[in-house]
Amino acid sequence: MQGTDLVDTLVSKLRTLPPEKLVEVEDFVDFLRVRDDDRHLVTAAARLSEAAFAAVWDNPDDAAYDQL
């Protein structure tokens, strides 16, 4: 199903729901957005910290763990 077809299908289904269910759907959509934002934030923070931790991670004593 293509993007616009999917949106049309979802809108049609949403129109059949009672108002209290629409509130639940809205909450779920908000949850999905926040979850994706959180994942992007965690990924970005991990990338930024790699350089700062490179001296700690890259050392001869811990080189054996790199092979695991």
32 φ, ψ (degrees, to nearest 5): -60, -40
CB proximity list for 9: less than 8 A, separation 6 or greater = 1
**Integer CA distances (angstroms), 2 to 5, 9, 10, 16, 44, in order:** 5, 10, 12, 22, 31
Round to whole Å and give the CA distance between 65 and 36: 31
**Residue segments in the chain with a per-residue pLDDT below the cut of 70:** none
Furthest CA-CA distance within the chain: 64
